[in-house]
Amino acid sequence: MLEVLRQGWDALAAVPNLRLYLSLGWALYLLLLGGWIALQKREPVATLSWLLGLALLPYVGFLVYHVFGPQKIRRQRLRRARARGDVPPQAFVEDDEVAELARMARAATDLPMTTASDVRLLVDGAAKYRALLADIAAARDHVHLEYYIWDPDRSGVALRDALLERARAGVRVRLLLDALGSARAQRLFGDLVAAGGELAWFHPTRFGRVWQRPWTNLRTHRKIVVIDGRIGYTGGMNISDDQDETLAATAYRDLHLRLEGNVVRELQQVFVEDWAYATGQRDFIGEVTRQTPVLARGTVRAQVITSGPDSSWEAIHRAHVGAIHAAKRRVWLTTPYFVPGEAAVMSLTSAALAGLDVRLLVPRMSDSRLVTLAARSYFGPLLVAGVKIYEYGPRMLHSKSLLVDDSVVLIGSANFDHRSFRLNFEVSMLFDDAGIAAALAQLIEGELAHAPRVRQGRQRGLLSARLPEALARLMSPLL
């Protein structure tokens, strides 16, 4: 075998002007791919990073870019926009304090501010699963679910069984799962489908189609449940024993929402788009529109905000930055993954420099050491500006919330990082309500009691902390 390879190499080396041909091929490779990347007009630093990667690693660099490089869903985005147009818009409710923020979100997503009649903060998985199972048991018409992670463990099986019972009773069950995040559960739903339930996978892998870029990096990170068009769930929790503190002492500390009222129509609309996009079932849209009732106006102002690679507006990112810039008294942020861009860092430091009470709550150690190191690389400027940073330690903090002043609240599936703001399909809820703000403030204050404050100037070794953090930060656009 080695002899054959040696003879092949000798024959190749004997080709006249081989170096010239290789050099010309390499130059053409850089020119074509470099021009393609430059024409996407992304941030200069990111563009230069990809160009250097392609130049220094001609084949490996292209493979990495092909799989993990930035992508925009153009043809599919048109399909999603058409799906959205088939769902009638809701009445827009505007308030002086959040009018600009609400208008921006509506312009970017076509989802207006509306109202909720009831909003419950569900803390940790046991509370969420208990409420969700009870509501599913009472379903009479349909149950729609969309999740990133669904594990085939006790929690996943219990929820599957609840859906199976409803499907056998004639309730329409539609389940949309991310093909990567829920890959372990692919064999869990045979009985559900046999009973009449419908199952679809979001962005299944397509590595076999070499002419198409795979969707490895473009996942649905959304957590949505809509029951009979009247009750909705969304927030940060997946379906896993890792989310239930009664099953695992190390379960994530997390936050979810249970909603009633017209805002559920907007969650339904998001699910409708995702289902139609994943399955191509156009007739499904009109059917669901008829199933979703218009309810009396509620007392809580609420707005669904979505973002994903099918839109260039980064609506959830803009909502966070806009809300922080509009703050007058306080900004409290909780996130499991803190890998912000320049705009986000600027908003936080500007608020702190202006004398506002700016607090950042992150896990002492997330489930990704690389992300933890990258997050800590951003602490220095924030601490200097006056941001108070706390690291929650008893369990892994997984809640994603923003509290601004005394009424503005953002809660959803999006982390405060590049991946959530630019790559994932995410959904967040914007509230303008003093009661929800007070409840969230009380929750965060309780968590701060278990989160030591990060002090400026703490001892940090070069090899044990500063250098690993700096290296991890280089990966920020991919985290």
For 269-290, give one letter per residue: b (16+ CB within 10 A) or e: bbbbbbbbbbbebeebbeebbe
Closest CA to 413 of 221, 267, 257, 233: 221
In single-letter form, the type of residue at position 337 comes to: Y
Residue 281: per-residue pLDDT: 83
Residue 64: per-residue pLDDT: 58
Q: Do domains 75-94+112-300 and 315-478 have the same CATH topology?
A: yes
Q: Rounded CA gap, 442 and 436, in Å?
A: 10
Residue 253: per-residue pLDDT: 96
Rg value, the chain, Cα: 24
Residue 456: per-residue pLDDT: 79
Q: Contacts for 269-272 with beta carbons within 8 Å, 24 or more apart?
A: 269/84, 269/87, 269/111, 269/304, 270/111, 270/222, 270/224, 270/304, 270/306, 270/427, 271/144, 271/146, 271/176, 271/224, 271/226, 272/83, 272/87
Q: Rounded CA gap, 95 and 383, in Å?
A: 34
Residues 6+ away with beta carbon under 8 Å from 45: none
Residue 243 tokens, joined: 């989310």
φ, ψ at 261 (rounded to 5°): 115, -170
- Spot the catalytic one: 223, 256, 317, 418: 223
CATH number for the region 315-478 comes to: 3.30.870.10
Q: Rounded CA gap, 387 and 357, in Å?
A: 8
Residues 6+ away with beta carbon under 8 Å from 10: none
Cβ atoms < 10 Å from Cβ of 432: 23
Q: Rounded CA gap, 462 and 93, in Å?
A: 53
Contact 389, 357 (CB under 8 A): no
Closest CA to 242 of 150, 157, 334: 150
Residue 87: per-residue pLDDT: 44
DSSP secondary structure of 195-261? TT-EEEEES---TT-TTS---TT--B---EEEETTTEEEEES--BSGGG-TTT-TTPPB-EEEEEES
For 39-48, give one letter per residue: b (16+ CB within 10 A) or e: eeeeeeebbe
Closest CA to 200 of 306, 135, 284, 258: 284
φ, ψ at 389 (rounded to 5°): -110, 135
Cβ atoms < 10 Å from Cβ of 119: 23
Closest CA to 43 of 254, 298, 341, 275: 341
H runs (alpha helix) in 280-427: 283-291, 315-325, 342-353, 369-376, 379-385, 418
Q: What residue has token string 């602490």?
A: 379
- Spot the catalytic one: 124, 135, 405, 432: 405
- Spot the catalytic one: 317, 320, 400, 418: 400
Contact 407, 262 (CB under 8 A): no
The string of pLDDT tens digits covering residues 91-120 is: 444 556 688 999 999 999 999 999 999 999
- Spot the catalytic one: 128, 142, 221, 320: 221
Q: Give yes or no: 274 in active site.
A: no
Which mean pLDDT values do the consecutive 10-residue runs of the chain (479 residues) have? Answer: 58 61 67 64 60 61 58 50 47 63 93 95 97 98 97 97 98 96 95 97 72 70 96 97 93 97 94 91 71 82 94 94 97 96 95 98 88 88 96 93 97 94 94 97 96 80 65 66
- Using CA atoms, how far residue 376 sits from 265, 347, 453, 465, in Å, is 39, 18, 13, 9
Q: Give yes or no: 151 in active site.
A: no
Predicted TM-score of the model (pTM): 0.85
Sign of the C-alpha dihedral, residues 320, 321, 323, 324? positive
Residue 310: per-residue pLDDT: 86
Q: Give yes or no: 328 in active site.
A: no
Strand, helix or coil at 5?
A: helix
The string of pLDDT tens digits covering residues 194-252 is: 999 999 999 987 555 544 555 677 899 999 999 999 999 999 999 999 999 999 889 99
Q: Of the CATH numbers 3.30.870.10, 3.30.470.20, 2.60.40.10, 2.60.120.620, which one belongs to the domain with range 75-94+112-300?
A: 3.30.870.10
What distance lies between CA 111 and its chain's CA centroid? 18
Instruction: Provide the residue ranges of all domains of the chain, joining segments of one domain with +.
Output: 2-68, 75-94+112-300, 315-478
Q: Give yes or no: 388 in active site.
A: no
Residue 93: per-residue pLDDT: 46
Closest CA to 132 of 118, 140, 141, 143: 143
Q: Give yes or no: 221 in active site.
A: yes
Q: Rounded CA gap, 279 and 281, in Å?
A: 5
In single-letter form, the type of residue at position 380 comes to: G
Pairing of strands 401-404, 330-334: antiparallel
- Spot the catalytic one: 203, 256, 398, 418: 398
Q: Give yes or no: 400 in active site.
A: yes
